[in-house]
Amino acid sequence: MQGKIALEEHFTLPETRNEMSRFSLPGTGEDLKRRLTDLHDIRLGEMDKFGIELAIQSFNAPGVQAVPNVDNAIELAQRANDTLAEEVAKRPDRFAGFAALPLQDPDAACIELTRCIKELGFKGALVNGFTSKGDMETVIYYDLPEYRPFWASVQELGMPLYLHPRNPIQSRLQSYEGHPWLEHSPWAFAMETALHTLRLLGSGVFDDYPDVQLIIGHLGERIPYDLWRLDHRIKKSPQGIPAKKSMRDYMQSNVHLTTSGNFHDPTLHCAMTEIGADRIMFSVDYPFETTADAATWFDVSDISEADRLQIGRNNAVNLFKLDLT
Ligand code: GRE
Ligand code: ZN
């Protein structure tokens, strides 16, 4: 399919790219680092080859969320966003940007989000899970009351927020001890991100700010498959729940999914059945996944041509109010 739009695509700054090498397979570290800092050479070449017209770029995980010093987090977010804006300006027909946000300070995050959308033309923000503040063992989720003004800003600015994974903090990795292959992207990323998403939905954030649109990757971080059971058991919860609606209601009115890193027909069919084809968007998760894997699967996946066009392109055009001529 030509004209696809992808939106979980990551870049990094030369000075932060060494942090990424621990995720690499032996022998691939240098290649991954090169791909993370490159935009106009390898990345654009692969977009051309596999029919991706536009890719919305974001600062790689854990990024700004893992900078415990507030001033440093604010400075890094601004630097990452300014660099991305400069790169996007070279090819605005092919690239767009998501803001990195210093959520260590909710007011500073609102200011940076406003600047990125109003001055830099970004299409929303991508946040790498919970925020570390003060030290790396602190975990701050955005359902906490001090983040309500932040959600008010997200709603007012009218652009979505992508909640991207990061690994749990060290003290919460006890249950993974001796099984390091389950940390990071195979399992821990999804558990962490699904939990954060469900905290947001259950806390009533979307009752107060019903127009906020959240995006989660990897075909929903396992939530679609368990959505029925989740609501079924919450209804029986003796503690009740602050949110007014069911998880299904919020998933179908406030949450969008992408296909990032999850290239499998049965999983896509489940997401389409539970959430809806109008809330799913194509993505790669470049450079942690290959454009070839994502596109060659999606282009022939077992869905109707109307759904392919919607998921591959039109849902993103509508959500990000894109003016593609
Ligand atoms: C990501 O940011 O999407 C990512 C990593 C590391 C491994 C896999 C992955 O940061 O998808
Ligand atoms: Zn990613």
Ligand 1 contact, 261 CB (< 6 A): yes
Minimum CA distance residue for ligand 1 atom 2 = 61
Instruction: Mark whether 299 is an active-site residue.
Output: no
Q: Please give the angle made by the CA atoms of 63, 227 and 242, to the nearest 5 degrees.
A: 75
What digits encode the pLDDT tens for the residues 206-237? 999 999 999 999 999 999 999 999 999 999 99
The DSSP letter of residue 99 is B
> Minimal CA–CA distance to 59: which of 127, 3, 110, 141?
127
> Minimal CA–CA distance to 57: which of 31, 90, 19?
90
CA of 242 to the centre of ligand 2 (A): 30
What digits encode the pLDDT tens for the residues 49-101? 999 999 999 999 999 999 999 999 999 999 999 999 999 999 999 999 999 99
User: Cα(231)–Cα(244) distance, rounded to whole angstroms?
Assistant: 12
> Minimal CA–CA distance to 220: which of 279, 286, 305?
279
Average pLDDT over all residues of the chain = 96
> Minimal CA–CA distance to 223: which of 181, 270, 164?
270
User: Cα(30)–Cα(21) distance, rounded to whole angstroms?
Assistant: 8
Minimum CA distance residue for ligand 1 atom 3 = 285
Please list the residues that pair with 214 across neighbouring strands: 161, 255
Smallest-distance ligand from the CA of 164 = 2
Q: Please give the angle made by the CA atoms of 85, 42 and 125, to the nearest 5 degrees.
A: 30
The whole-number pLDDT of residue 325 equals 73
Model confidence pTM above 0.95: yes
Minimum CA distance residue for ligand 1 atom 11 = 288
CA of 289 to the centre of ligand 1 (A): 8
* CB-based contact 202:247 (threshold 8 Å): yes
Evaluated on CA atoms 127, 99, 58, 249, the torsion sign reads positive
The whole-number pLDDT of residue 234 equals 98
**Number of neighbouring beta carbons within 10 Å of residue 111:** 16
> Minimal CA–CA distance to 234: which of 263, 199, 186, 267?
199
Residue 25 confidence (pLDDT) above 80:
no
The whole-number pLDDT of residue 29 equals 84
The whole-number pLDDT of residue 19 equals 60
The DSSP letter of residue 125 is E
- Overall average pLDDT of the 164-191 stretch: 96
Of the listed 82, 135, 285, 293, which one is catalytic? 285
Q: Percent of the chain beyond pLDDT 70? A: 96
Q: Which of 288, 289, 291, 293 for a ligand 1 pocket mutation test, highest count of atoms within 8 Å of Cβ?
A: 288
Instruction: Walk me through the domains of the chain, giving residue ranges and CATH numbers.
Output: 4-319 (3.20.20.140)
- DSSP-assigned states of every residue in 272-310: HHHT-GGGEE----TTTS-HHHHHHHHHHSSS-HHHHHI
The whole-number pLDDT of residue 157 equals 98
171: left (phi over 0), alpha (psi -120 to 50) or beta: alpha
What digits encode the pLDDT tens for the residues 100-158? 999 999 999 999 999 999 999 999 999 999 999 999 999 999 999 999 999 999 999 99
The whole-number pLDDT of residue 28 equals 65
Q: Scanning the structure block, which residue is given the tokens 């290959």?
A: 290
The whole-number pLDDT of residue 16 equals 79
Q: Which of 10, 189, 219 for a ligand 1 pocket mutation test, highest count of atoms within 8 Å of Cβ?
A: 189
Strand (E) or helix (H) holding 52: strand 52-59
